[in-house]
Amino acid sequence: MPQKILNTRSCASFNKCVSFRHVMTVLALMASIIGLVSCESPKLIKTFYAMGGIPVNIIAVGLRDTALQRVTDEAAQSVKEWEAELSMYRESSVVNQLHKTKGSPVHLTEKGWQALQAALEAETITDGAFDVTIGPVVRLWKEAEKKGELPDSDTMQKALSFTGFESLVFDEANRSIQVKTHDPVTDNESESGFVLDVGGIAKGLFAEWLNDQIVNSLSPKEKSGLKKLIVDLSGDMYVRSFTKNDDCVVGIRDPFSSDRSALWGSLSIQKGAVVTSGTYERYFEIDGRRYCHIIDPKTGYPVANEIVSVTIVDPSGAMADALATAVFVMGEEKGIELIKSRPQTEMVLIRRDGTWVVSDGLQDRLKQTCSI
Ligand code: AMP
Ligand code: MG
């Protein structure tokens, strides 16, 4: 594959990649998306709030307002149901109840099962860098943030002992999971024990599920008018254009700007997930040191490296989301290797110093809109 260096100030390239100098992340902001979805038919947007108050935007071109309202209401209901099963922040959710079952199987719905299978696949292909069993450690860091104190090493070791897929048994026939009884199921109600945190995969997954659900729920007449559909879960998107040569254009945020609406550029995508993980927005400080929200499952500590933003484009919402998180953990070199091994996956990776790399599958899809 020939290389094309688009910017002579670039600092790195990998064989399916071209280097650039700056950073881009996918923009979740509704106004930008509205501005960037290019076509003549009216663009409509409906918003609901889920997952602790994040806006979920459904953006459609070529759909009547009443139809969009209907599918948005249905989407809100679906997200509520998925969250009730999969959110570690819901006391009664399945993923939050594992430790209380003392080794008994916990049943999942079809969607819940699909979610955990996607998480398992992500764990395998990232060699453990993406690991939804990280829940107890995520909890520990949330407490640390509240107290303003780093966790001590005993507490960390204890939390880590409740992580790892090897401690879980998946039963496909019964669509259930269980914690192996010989593993350290806690008797102490105040300890979290096993908790699955699907926060690093759920938004991408939900964006794809909702996009499919909406399209499938339209009448043939409604469907024939639909030109574009974007489901945007606060930056994790699943986009779909139904018109040949008229891609969805997704705004890209400048992660170095404190202005959330500052655009660096845009990506044109026909169909697929566009998901960004960034350390520039979600972080906390203890003793003047900044910690990000992505944890290295091997150490239990927040990742600290030169990456500031990773955008993944992939046909699978779950994989896009998981890989965006995992590349942070894997680091640039291993991350690029992984993306190179997947023909269906593209990436933009931005470093703290403002340099960046982009896979060649995105080079013609990327448009820079601000100066670097
Ligand atoms: P994202 O914003 O998609 O990168 O997801 C980050 C969220 O995923 C965090 O807030 C945690 O809830 C969870 N998480 C953190 N580290 C990991 C990890 N190594 N594997 C899977 N999920 C993680
Ligand atoms: Mg993610």
Q: Ligand 2 center to residue 321 CA distance, Å? A: 4
Return the pLDDT at 300. 97
DSSP line for 232-253: EETTEEEEEE-STT--EEEEEE
Question: Does residue 297's CB lie within 6 angstroms of at least one atom of ligand 1?
Answer: yes
Q: Ligand 1 center to residue 303 CA distance, Å? A: 11
Cβ pair 118, 203 in contact under 8 A: no
Question: Does residue 321's CB lie within 6 angstroms of at least one atom of ligand 1?
Answer: yes
Q: Ligand 1 center to residue 294 CA distance, Å? A: 5
Question: Does residue 138's CB lie within 6 angstroms of at least one atom of ligand 1?
Answer: yes
Question: Does residue 236's CB lie within 6 angstroms of at least one atom of ligand 1?
Answer: no
Question: Does residue 51's CB lie within 6 angstroms of at least one atom of ligand 1?
Answer: no
Helix or strand (DSSP H, E) at 312: strand 307-314
Ligand 1 pocket test, candidate residues 233, 293, 314, 328, most atoms within 8 A of CB:
293
Cα–Cα distance, 336 to 361 (Å, whole number): 13
Per-residue confidence of the chain (372 residues) as pLDDT tens digits? 333 222 322 334 444 433 333 333 333 333 334 335 444 467 899 999 999 899 999 999 999 999 999 999 999 999 999 999 999 888 888 888 887 777 788 999 999 999 999 999 999 999 999 999 999 999 999 999 999 999 999 999 999 999 999 988 999 999 999 888 655 556 555 556 888 999 999 999 999 999 999 999 999 999 999 999 999 998 899 999 999 999 999 977 778 888 878 877 789 999 999 999 988 777 888 888 889 999 999 999 999 999 999 999 999 999 999 999 999 999 999 999 999 999 999 999 989 888 889 998 999 998 876 443
Return the pLDDT at 23. 32
Question: Does residue 198's CB lie within 6 angstroms of at least one atom of ligand 1?
Answer: no
Per-residue pLDDT reduced to its tens digit, 205-230: 999 999 999 999 999 999 999 999 99
Return the pLDDT at 50. 94
Cβ pair 56, 73 in contact under 8 A: no
φ, ψ of residue 57 in degrees (nearest 5): -105, 130
CA-based nearest residue to 279, from 310, 234, 257: 310
Cβ pair 27, 14 in contact under 8 A: no
Question: Does residue 131's CB lie within 6 angstroms of at least one atom of ligand 1?
Answer: yes
Question: Does residue 277's CB lie within 6 angstroms of at least one atom of ligand 1?
Answer: yes
Instruction: Please tell me whether residue 107 adopts helix, strand or coil conformation.
Output: strand
Cα–Cα distance, 82 to 229 (Å, whole number): 21
Question: Does residue 132's CB lie within 6 angstroms of at least one atom of ligand 1?
Answer: yes
Which two structure tokens, joined as six digits, stand for 272? 């697929």
Q: Ligand 2 center to residue 326 CA distance, Å? A: 7
Q: What pTM was computed for the model? A: 0.89
Question: Does residue 134's CB lie within 6 angstroms of at least one atom of ligand 1?
Answer: yes
From the number of C-beta atoms within 10 Å of its C-beta (0-12, 13-18, 19+), residue 179 rates as buried
- Distances, alpha carbon 53 to alpha carbons 50, 56, 317, 326, 354, in Å: 5, 9, 21, 25, 31
Q: Ligand 2 center to residue 36 CA distance, Å? A: 24
Instruction: Please tell me whether residue 359 adopts helix, strand or coil conformation.
Output: strand
The ligand 1 atom nearest the CA atom of 197: 12
Question: Does residue 265's CB lie within 6 angstroms of at least one atom of ligand 1?
Answer: no
Q: Ligand 1 center to residue 293 CA distance, Å? A: 7
Return the pLDDT at 185. 59
Question: Does residue 293's CB lie within 6 angstroms of at least one atom of ligand 1?
Answer: yes
Q: Whose CA is nearest to atom 3 of ligand 1?
A: 200
Instruction: Please tell me whether residue 336 adopts helix, strand or coil conformation.
Output: helix
Q: Which DSSP symbol is given to 299?
A: T
Q: Whose CA is nearest to atom 12 of ligand 1?
A: 199
Ligand nearest to the CA of residue 119, numbered in listed order: 1
- Distances, alpha carbon 231 to alpha carbons 63, 125, 236, 371, in Å: 14, 26, 8, 29
